[in-house]
């Protein structure tokens, strides 16, 4: 067996954990640096690797109709640690892949600790390593320490790395009034691990909804210092910021009342619905879906207890706001996520400008494979843009977005979505020859994109694995 210099990975979140796993499984030793518990963050509560702090959902697992489901499947094909542990620790969530939060991170941590080529070093890294120290991957995510952020800024000559997002509260199940609430997934969707009744639903009439929105808007909020500018990622907006964009906005987002029937009042359609999703394996904790918030703790308890069924809610964790961090990646990183000015350094995860647990882990998986190929003297081959891997990577490294006037817009974080994939030919006609319309045509397109993506992923993996194995 060849002997390699260890790769140093800074950050044992989802991206860093996944990258370490990929490297070690290609016989490349890893030192995984994690500052917790020596130095804590604003939101983590344990020293486990891959701790989930915003939600317990990896979102849709449907690989025919949803881009993140395609990404799940591509990661399974690539032997992902994160998706493997998510599958083992899944909890019912309709068509989504949600996990028992603590059990998931414990499983990831134990697998990393047990691997003979991975060592975990506890302590803060405050400076970027020199080239003679060997290859390094920075996967510190949205909570990069101040000292390391300053070192990154100095190396990249950037002015800022920060934006802000928020986390949702978690409620004890036995404090929810099920005489008002009920279990049901929208449209009774089951999915691979669901039952069709995986969410707790709390219905509101119009008067209750408007009173609730008014209370949120007037509640005390966490404020920013003058030099801080709140620039939220649209996929993780605080619920009150969403309401500020229009009183009806939450009803077209997390509080949409579609696909649900209230068994306590079946003859009346809800005006709005608050959903809660199981947060742990035992089903004793549920988080409020889409209710990230920057309201202060006292205000949260008061406002959220206005929700029918949550009048006596007991909170296992209240929501909170925290700083997020990402690079201007199209400017700073090359096509395999190396820092252009210092190519011995790579970045992975949310700091690159992807959003979401799955996307962060996927970019960690790619960087791990890129580093492994280079250690073995092989070319680091990016995945084709027709795959979910490649589409996400292309967004991160492919340049600034062009606005409708032909000018340039600033780079912003992005979840994987079919809009990032290159166009594909697909059938627009039914078997009887008649033309598909609307949703049916869109589903046909999504299935074609998915089929092409998974086919091309398998071909890419066979190619890159062959180059590594033959070294």
| Binding-site residue set for FAD | 11-16
**Structure tokens given for 465:** 């694995």
How many other CB atoms sit within 10 Å of the CB of residue 338? 22
In this structure, are residues 131 and 250 in contact, taking their beta carbons and an 8 Å threshold? no
124-129: long-range pairs with CB below 8 Å, 24+: 124/35, 124/38, 124/39, 124/148, 125/10, 125/33, 125/35, 126/151, 127/151, 128/152, 128/155, 128/342, 128/345, 129/8, 129/344, 129/345
Give all strands (DSSP E) within 50-161, no chain letters: 57-60, 90-91, 96-99, 118-122, 136-138
Tell me the CA distances in angstroms from 136 to 9, 20, 280, 340, 368, one per residue in order.
6, 11, 34, 14, 11
Alpha carbons 340 and 99: distance in angstroms, whole number: 37
Alpha carbons 467 and 462: distance in angstroms, whole number: 9
Q: What are phi and psi of 35, to 5 degrees?
A: -75, -25
Alpha carbons 288 and 273: distance in angstroms, whole number: 11
Return the H-helix or E-strand segment holding 152. helix 146-156
Alpha carbons 254 and 272: distance in angstroms, whole number: 9
Alpha carbons 303 and 142: distance in angstroms, whole number: 28
**Structure tokens given for 327:** 């690079």
Provide the CB-side half-sphere exposure for 276 (13 A, CA): 31
DSSP state of 354: B
- Beta strands 136-138 and 342-347 are parallel
Alpha carbons 84 and 102: distance in angstroms, whole number: 15
**Structure tokens given for 276:** 């809660």
Q: What are phi and psi of 18, to 5 degrees?
A: -65, -40
Q: Which parts are annotated binding residues?
A: 11-16
Beta-bridge mates of residue 202: 274
Contacting residues for 365 by C-beta, under 8 A, at least 6 apart: 18, 19, 22, 75, 78, 80, 82, 389
Nearest one of 236, 269, 266, 270 to 253, comparing CA atoms: 236
Alpha carbons 24 and 298: distance in angstroms, whole number: 46
């Amino acid at each position: 067996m060849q002997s390699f210099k260890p790769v140093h990975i800074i950050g044992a979140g989802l991206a860093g954990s996944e990258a370490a796993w990929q490297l070690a499984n290609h016989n490349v030793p890893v030192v995984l640096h994690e500052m917790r518990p020596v130095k804590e963050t604003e939101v983590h509560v344990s020293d486990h690797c891959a701790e989930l702090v915003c939600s317990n959902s990896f979102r849709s697992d449907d690989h025919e109709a949803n881009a993140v489901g395609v990404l799940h499947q591509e990661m399974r094909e690539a032997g992902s640690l994160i998706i493997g542990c998510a599958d083992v620790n899944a909890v019912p969530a309709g068509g989504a892949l949600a996990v028992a939060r603590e059990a998931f991170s414990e499983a990831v941590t134990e697998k990393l600790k047990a691997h003979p080529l991975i060592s975990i070093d506890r302590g803060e890294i405050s400076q970027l390593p020199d080239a003679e120290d060997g290859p390094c991957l920075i996967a510190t995510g949205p909570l990069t320490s101040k000292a390391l952020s300053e070192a990154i800024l100095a190396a990249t000559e950037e002015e800022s790395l920060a934006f802000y997002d928020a986390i949702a509260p978690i409620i004890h199940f036995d404090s929810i009034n099920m005489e008002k609430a009920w279990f049901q997934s929208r449209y009774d969707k089951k999915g691979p691990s669901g039952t069709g009744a995986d969410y707790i639903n709390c219905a509101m009439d119009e008067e209750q909804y408007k009173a609730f929105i008014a209370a949120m808007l007037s509640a005390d909020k966490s404020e920013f210092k003058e030099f801080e500018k709140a620039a939220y990622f649209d996929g993780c907006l605080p619920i009150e910021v969403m309401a500020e964009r229009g009183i009806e906005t939450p009803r077209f987002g997390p509080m949409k009342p579609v696909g649900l029937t209230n068994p306590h009042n079946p003859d009346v359609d809800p005006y709005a619905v608050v959903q809660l999703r199981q947060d742990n394996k035992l089903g004793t904790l549920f988080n409020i879906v889409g209710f990230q918030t920057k309201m202060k703790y006292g205000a949260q308890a008061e406002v959220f207890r206005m929700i029918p069924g949550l009048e006596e809610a007991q909170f296992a964790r209240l929501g909170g706001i925290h700083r997020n961090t990402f690079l201007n990646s199209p400017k700073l990183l090359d096509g395999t996520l190396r820092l252009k000015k210092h190519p011995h350094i790579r970045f992975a995860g949310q700091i690159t400008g992807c959003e979401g647990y799955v996307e962060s882990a996927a970019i960690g998986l790619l960087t791990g494979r890129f580093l492994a190929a280079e250690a073995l003297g092989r070319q680091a081959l990016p995945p084709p843009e027709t795959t979910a891997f490649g589409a996400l990577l292309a967004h991160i490294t492919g340049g600034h977005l062009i606005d409708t006037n032909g000018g340039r817009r600033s780079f912003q974080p992005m979840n994987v979505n079919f809009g990032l994939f290159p166009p594909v030919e697909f059938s627009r006609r039914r078997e009887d020859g008649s033309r598909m319309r609307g949703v049916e045509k869109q589903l046909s397109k999504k299935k074609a994109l998915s089929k092409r993506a998974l086919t091309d992923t398998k071909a890419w993996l066979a190619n890159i694995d062959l180059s590594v194995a033959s070294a």
